[in-house]
């Protein structure tokens, strides 16, 4: 296997973390998914404090996003993040995981519990806030992903099937044996 770097992105509830984790395990490469949670631990802060500070201080987002790319450039990996496909320009394979708003909300409900309508409302607000931030910070429209090597509607497959689709594409491109 060559030094392969795979970027996987998708909105909340698309299966991004699950698929990225499974793929990294199958390939035997590092999973990179550096988030506000890890930043909070490193800074001795709570996650809530980091999120609150990030509302008025762009340096939190910029550090996390750039740090992920630095980590990804250091070794073969799967980079799984909301912005991976845009930020890791040299990725050998860029995969966007898509799911409808309803599908995503139901998955979040199954994962975290709660009220479906509240989850739909919160997810829509979060998507809007994320899109606004990405456009402001990086001039990235995270609703435009037509440049990706693969766009997979995750409603049609389970995580293992998605990993198999990605592995088949990697083999077809001669990136893995």
Q: pLDDT (tens digit, 9 = 90+) per residue, 132-153?
A: 889 999 999 999 999 999 999 9
pLDDT digits (tens, 9 = 90+) for 54-63: 889 999 999 9
Mean pLDDT for the chain? Answer: 94
Structure tokens at 15: 């299966």
Per-residue confidence band for 1, with pLDDT thresholds at 50, 70 and 90: low
Give per-residue pLDDT as tens, 17-32: 999 999 999 999 999 9
DSSP string, 2-58: ---EEEEEE-TTSSHHHHHHHHHHHHT-EEE---HHHHHHHHT--HHHHHHHHTT-T
Listed in sequence order, the residues at least 6 apart from 50 whose beta carbon sits closer than 8 Å to its beta carbon are: 36, 39, 40, 43, 60
Report the alpha-carbon distance of residue 177 to residue 171 in Å, rounded.
6
Main-chain phi, psi angles of 152, to 5 degrees: -120, 125
| Token representation of residue 24 | 């990294």
Torsion of CA 1, 154, 113, 132, to 10 degrees: 90
């Amino acid at each position: 296997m060559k030094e392969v770097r795979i970027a996987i992105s998708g909105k909340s509830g698309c299966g991004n973390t699950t698929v990225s984790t499974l793929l990294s395990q199958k390939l035997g490469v590092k999973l990179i998914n550096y988030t506000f949670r890890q930043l909070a631990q490193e800074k001795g802060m709570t996650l809530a404090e980091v999120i609150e500070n990030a509302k008025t201080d762009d340096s939190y987002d910029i550090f996390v996003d750039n740090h992920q790319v630095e980590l990804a450039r250091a070794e073969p990996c799967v980079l799984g993040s909301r912005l991976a496909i845009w930020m890791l320009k040299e990725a050998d394979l860029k995969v966007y995981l898509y799911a409808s708003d309803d599908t995503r909300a139901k998955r979040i409900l199954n994962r975290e519990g709660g009220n479906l309508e509240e989850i739909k409302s919160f997810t829509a607000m979060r998507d809007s806030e994320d899109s606004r931030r990405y456009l402001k910070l990086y001039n990235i429209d995270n609703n435009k992903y037509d440049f990706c090597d693969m766009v997979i509607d995750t409603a049609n497959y389970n995580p293992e099937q998605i990993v198999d689709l990605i592995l088949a594409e990697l083999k077809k491109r001669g990136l893995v044996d």
